[in-house]
Each structure stands twice: as structure tokens, then as C-alpha cells.
Amino acid sequence: MMRMIMEVVMVIVVVTGMVFMMKVSANENKEGKKLRDYGEDTEKNDEDDRKSE
């Protein structure tokens, strides 16, 4: 019985840690990027990016 409780607690801790790390990683990625609208003219957007660099 005690072993089962420990296994459940360990699974909960691991899942919670993974969710926390995903949220931290997502926030870091969001800060470094700006959102773009990819319409039908993806090639035109790529050319504009090259010009701005």
C-alpha cells in the first residue's frame, strides 16, 4: 500500500515538473519572437524578412 502511494506521488511530481518546464519554455519562446501573419504570399513575406535583416 505504501509503495503504491509513493509511486502515485512520484508520478504527480514528475507530471507537475514537466508542465512547469513547458510553461517556462513557452514564455521564453514567446518573448523572443514577434507574431507574423502568413497569408497566401509566404514567399513575399520571406523576401521582406531578408530585406529587413
pLDDT of residue 13: 97
- The larger pLDDT score, comparing residue 20 to residue 25, is at 20
pLDDT of residue 7: 98
Q: Is the pTM above the cut of 0.95?
A: no
CA 32 – CA 3 distance, rounded (Å):
44
| 33 has a pLDDT exceeding 90 | no
CA angle centred on 37, ends 42 and 21, rounded to 5°: 110
Q: How far is CA 3 from CA 6, 14, 17, 39, 52, in A?
A: 5, 16, 21, 55, 60
- The larger pLDDT score, comparing residue 3 to residue 45, is at 3
Q: Average pLDDT of the chain?
A: 77
Assigned C-alpha cell, 6: 509513493
Name which of 40, 39, 23, 20 is nearest 31 in CA terms: 23
